[in-house]
Structure 1
Amino acid sequence: MDMFEDDAAGNAPEFTVSEISGAVKRVIEGEFAHVRIRGEIGRVSFPRSGHVYMDLKDDRSVISGVIWKGVASRLETRPEEGLEVVATGRLTTFPGQSKYQLVIEDLAPAGMGALMAMLEKRKQMLAAEGLFEASRKKPLPFLPEVIGVVTSPSGAVIRDILHRLRDRFPRKVLLWPVAVQGKNCAPEVARGIAGFNALSPGGAMPRPDLIIVARGGGSLEDLWGFNEEIVARAAAASEIPLISAVGHETDTTLIDFVSDRRAPTPTAAAELAVPVRGELLAWVAEQGARLTRAQTQSLEARNRWLRDLSRALPRAEALTEGPRQRLDYLSERLPGALRSLAQRRRVTLSEKGALRPALLRGRLAEERRRMEALSTRLRPALDRAVSAKREALGYRAERLSPRPITRDLARQKADLAELLARFARAGEADIRRRRDRLEASERMRETLGYKATLRRGYALVQDGEGQILRSREAAAGAGALRIEFADGVLDLGEGAGPQPATGAEPKTAQKPESKPRKPAKTGETPPEQGSLF
């Protein structure tokens, strides 16, 4: 019995690993060259090579699947974990790992329920990122200059939008042609939104103030391009306000949730974009009428107010009668006041011109004596202040320790030195101020005195008694004339001859004694020099 078993084992063929793997591959590929498998997508991997690796599973089994790079770029449905799909392809083996896999050539959602499940999943993901928040939505411009439309150029949608804009308020429209259905829909719509945002304001191509993404109605599969994640993210990233008008009122896509405003139809989108021009004109006219009525009412109210105020005001003649009478009274007093002022100024000038150098020197000497007396009084006062300070410091020295006393003495000495310096500066400043006043008075005396006038070419004419002659008649009636020039005195009359300058000895005969002068009025001091007045 054992002999027959050994013969049977020795007659069985032997295969290498590669041979048996190849035989299994040929059998599987020959039997399952083209299959359609329905299942749920499990693990999905997108390596940098561009291929897609995934698992198809049901409640009991799992099959590995691969989508080569060329096929993956053409698929309309992007593989997502948890999506129920129908995969079409062929079975093959992978000898390197002793497993079989499905090479997928086509991938489609397994019915309406799978699409809705995938849409709900995307919706939840985008909502979690905050793309549906109301705070992100931008207000629409009231009257946009340029409107960008992303839609098909050959459909009825663009005609409806243009017709509605023409009826309401004509605006400039830029059309970005895209496919609104099929696998090219999503990328072209996303590029259209991004392209309008990339335009520069003020460039050769005007940048739209508003974007409308529009498409007519259709089934869920027809509108699926507007449910793609790439379209939703492009609409959310748009800096230009965006209106979505995809499908009819009952159709809802992902772009409706991320757009700034949703319109139920493309025609409604045009209505949201611009106001009615006729309504605006009517509103402007109404506002103009309201403004006119308000202005008229305001003017009438102000006129009534002015009339009420005018009744409380006195007559204009009554307001001007008192000032007019006061003006007449003051105008009558003005000439006399001017003459009195001129006379007072003459007297003041005469008094200032009558100053004598000796008087000024006396005043200056008196001021010097007074300042010297003040300076002699200042030194004892300072000595007394210093003694009192020293006594106070000595009293405190008995009660304080040596170190604080030393510091206090230094501080008191510094204060005393500062006080002495301030006294000295004050005294010098007062002396300088008084000296300046005296010098200014001396300059004024020189300026106002008649000597300066004589140096300018004038002469002082007196009669024999020393009275100033101010007219030709008085000079003609005088018996003798005494004319004083800047360089000397000239006597004319009986026995008169030219006199030398003031202070010089006369070279001619001595002038006879003149008649005694008239006595001065009581309380007046006879002037020592003449007056030009």
Structure 2
Amino acid sequence: MSETTSNIREYSVSELSTALKRTVEDQFGFVRLRGEISGYRGPHSSGHVYFSLKDDSARIEAVIWKGVFGRLKFRPEEGLEVIASGKLTTFPSSSKYQIVIDQMEPAGVGALMAMLDERRKRLAAEGLFDAARKQLLPPFPKVIGIVTSPTGAVIRDILHRLSDRFPLEVIVWPVRVQGESSAAEIAAAIAGFNALGRDGTIPRPDILIVARGGGSLEDLWSFNEEIVVRAAAASDIPLISAVGHETDTTLIDFAADIRAPTPTAAAELAVRVRAEVMNGLTETGLRLARAIARQLENSQTRLAACARALPRPDMLLAVPRQRLDSAAARLPLALEGGLRAHRLAFARIAAILQPGELLLRLHRLGERLRSSTLRLETSLARHVERSGAGVRAACARLRVDLLIQPLRQRADQLGALGQRLHGGFSNVTGRRVERLRALASLLSSLGYRGVLARGFALVRAADGTPLRTAAAAGGHDDLSIEFADGSVNVHRPAAGPAPPRPKRSGSEALLPGQNDLFGVKQG
């Protein structure tokens, strides 16, 4: 079969793809597309963003490079209708065309409001707007933190209002309130204030105010960003949102603890009027002073009434004083009666302790002991005789060889127990000896004989009573002086005839050591 020839040029796949790419880029260098975002999954790991734009009958692939995505004023969301501007090109590897987006904006205010409403519902479902999360403002803050632009009328209005009402320390965290990075700066400022320590060089605010002047929905969009709303909801410091005018509403208003209609109103909510507070304190102080005065007056009146109802002090002590006098009058008689009773008791005991009576009782006890001993010996002899007869009869009935082995075993056990008993007895005896030696050493160190060994002497009376003073020794003629190596008896002769001793009445009490006991002469 003959080959057919053609004058049609042959292209490679790469050449055709390149030609198509050049044609599309030359023909559609810059276009604006209106469509709905579809297949949006967020930035790729490389930072680029891939999704599709579609309408009711067609769709086109779209890509946003990493650098462009960071400059967008808002973030794409699934189902949002947008207007995208960019270059049309092809992707040869998959034989499809796509738009490389340079700019993108929502397709009108209606789209922004729809996205805002969807975001509000989603964050509300997470509980970020719950009333239970709201915090109360402290009544007297010391430091107020303000997150706003450092230039403009907002910060001046707030500072002027705070100065008029209640001057205090203010810390301003400057941020951009509009633009590409404004939402990140606002969220970082809220988190930064919360991260301050209570004892740091920069004081931690007691209240935060996030403020901005009025503007369009696009101008206030930074305060609708999710990062700002979450930062406001997570703030541990009570937060007041003052964004826009009274008719403007942003998502941070729902997450804040209190919403102020204007920045000036936020300052009024944060602090009270100092003059009013001082007047209130003054009035409260006056009321407190009047209340204390009335209370003191009432207490004095009640005290006077109670004092009139009480008897006089001398009347209160009259009965106890009479009981004391009566007891004092009965005390000598009671002492004398007690002394007589004790003297009679001692006399009965002295009569019982006569030598003759004691000897008679000892003789009787000895007779009873000898009689009991004789009976015991007789009974023991009879018991031993009966037991011996029984043992001999039992031995006659038993085989001796059967008893030898158990007896040997018992003898071995007794020997072992005897050794253990001897060892234990030796140990116990040794410990007791050591303890006795320690006590003897302690006695030697604490006893008075150690003092005598150092050259001192102990003076006693004739009855052995220690004498500690010269005045006590002067009343005795016979003394005993004890040294470390023995005792010496000393007799002090009288200087002259002793005066006659006065006779004691029968009722006088005798002191211990006297030669007679209750009038009875002792040998």
TM-score by length of 1: 0.65
1:280 corresponding residue in structure 2: 277
1:75 equivalent in structure 2: 72
Tell me which amino acid in the other structure corresponds to 2:132: S
Correspondence for 2:132: 135
Residue 27 (structure 1) aligned with residue 18 (structure 2): no
1:66 to 59, 63, 67: 63
- What are the ranges of 5 or more consecutive residues in structure 1 without an aligned counterpart? 374-451, 460-469, 476-484, 490-525
Deviations 1:152-211 (A, max 9, x none): 111221122212222222221111100011112111111111111222220122222221
1:208 corresponding residue in structure 2: 205
Indicate the residue corresponding to 2:11 in structure 1: 15
- SS of 2:296's equivalent in the other structure is helix
In the superposition, relative to structure 1, how do residues 527 and 112 fare at CA in structure 2: closer, same or farther (>3 Å)? closer
Distance 1:95 1:456, change over 3 A: closer
Distance 1:456 1:199, change over 3 A: closer
Q: In structure 1, what is the equivalent of residue 521 of structure 2?
A: 530
Contact 2:343–2:518 (Cα < 8 Å) also in 1? no
Q: Matches of 1:110 and 1:243 in 2, distance apart?
A: 32
Residues 365-388 of structure 1 deviation map (CA, whole Å, 9 limit, x = unaligned) = 99999xxx9xxxxxxxxxxxxxxx
Name the structure 1 match of 2:386: none
For the 8 Å contact 1:350–1:531, the answer to whether it is kept is no
**Hey, what does 1:181 align to over in structure 2?**
178
Give the aligned partner of residue 111 of structure 2: 114
User: Counterparts in 2 of 1:377-392, with a 5 A limit?
Assistant: none
Q: Which residue of 2 aligns with 1:221?
A: 218
Residue 52 (structure 2) aligned to one of 42, 51, 55: 55
Shift of 1:33: 0.2
Instruction: Measure the CA separation in 1 of the matches of 2:85 and 2:210.
Output: 34
Which amino acid is 1:293 matched to? R
Structure 2 Cα separation of the partners of residues 153 and 214 of structure 1: 11
Moved over 6 A (4+): 359-369
- 8 Å CA contact retained: 1:354, 1:529: no
Aligned to 1:384: none
Q: How many residues align?
A: 392
- Secondary structure of the equivalent of 2:94? coil
| Inter-CA distance 473–297: structure 2 relative to 1 (3 Å threshold) | closer
Among all aligned residue pairs of Structure 1 and Structure 2, give the percentage whose two residues are the same amino acid: 56
Deviation sequence 1:454-485 (CA, Å, 0-9, x none)? 444989xxxxxxxxxx962559xxxxxxxxx9
User: Amino acid of the residue matched to residue 223 of structure 1?
Assistant: L
Match of 2:387 in 1: none
Q: Give the structure 1 partner of residue 501 of structure 2.
A: 472
- Contact 1:144-1:274 within 8 A present in 2 as well: yes
**Structure 2 CA distance for aligned equivalents of residues 321 and 527 of structure 1:** 43
How far apart, CA to CA, are the structure 2 residues paired with 1:53 and 1:473? Answer: 137
Q: 2:161 aligns with which of 140, 164, 168?
A: 164
Matches within 5 A, 1:203-282: 203-282=200-279
The amino acid across from 1:472 in the alignment is: R
CA distance in 2: counterparts of 1:274 and 1:113, whole angstroms: 39
SS in 2 for 1:244: strand
Residue 145 (structure 1) aligned with residue 142 (structure 2) = yes
Distance 1:473 1:228 in 2: 122
TM-superposed CA distance for 1:118, in Å, is 1.3
Kindly provide the amino acid, as one letter, of the partner of residue 83 in structure 2: V
User: Structure 2 counterpart of 1:16, which letter?
Assistant: S
Tell me the residue number matched to 1:302: 299
Q: Quick one: structure 1 residues 347 and 528, their matched pair in 2 at CA, closer, same or farther if it must change by over 3 Å? A: closer
User: Do 1:190 and 1:235's aligned partners in 2 also have CA atoms closer than 8 Å?
Assistant: yes
- Residue pair 1:354, 1:527 contacting (<8 A) in 2 also: no
Task: Tell me the TM-score normalised to structure 2 length.
Answer: 0.66
Structure 1 Cα separation of the partners of residues 362 and 222 of structure 2: 113
- What secondary structure does 1:179 align onto? coil
CA contact (8 A) 1:353 1:531 kept: no
Q: 1:166 to 1:527 in 2, by over 3 A?
A: closer
Distance 1:364 1:263, change over 3 A: farther
Does structure 2 conserve the Cα–Cα contact (< 8 Å) formed by 1:54 and 1:64? yes
Q: Provide the rounded CA distance (Å) in 2 between the counterparts of 1:223 and 1:353.
A: 121
Residues 343 and 162 (structure 1), Cα distance of their counterparts in 2 relative to 1, 3 Å cut: farther
Distance in 2, Cα, partners of 1:152 & 1:273: 19
**Structure 1 residues 195 and 356 mapped into 2: Cα distance closer, same or farther (>3 Å)?**
same
Secondary structure at 1:268 match in 2: helix
Moved more, 325-334 or 158-167: 325-334
Taking a change above 3 Å as real, the CA distance of residues 217 and 189 of structure 1, as seen in their structure-2 partners, is same
Given the superposition, is the C-alpha separation of residues 367 and 52 from structure 1 closer, same or farther in structure 2, using an over 3 Å criterion? Answer: farther
Offset, 1:237: 1.8
Q: 1:348 to 1:254 in 2, by over 3 A?
A: same
Determine helix, strand or coil for the equivalent of 1:49. coil
Find 2:288's aligned residue among 288, 291, 300.
291
- d(CA) in 2 for partners of 1:289, 1:218: 50
Moved more, 323-332 or 357-366: 357-366
Which secondary structure does the structure 2 equivalent of 1:107 belong to?
A: strand
Q: Is the 8 A contact 2:143 2:205 kept in 1?
A: yes
Structure 2: gaps of 5 or more residues: 373-460, 467-475, 478-498, 505-512
Matched residue SS, 1:115: helix
Cα deviation, residue 234, structure 1: 1.3
Distance 2:20 2:131 in 1: 59
Distance 1:289 1:303 in 2: 21
The one-letter code matched in structure 1 to 2:38 is G
In structure 2, give the amino acid aligned to 1:24. L
Deviation at residue 251 of structure 1 after TM alignment? 0.8
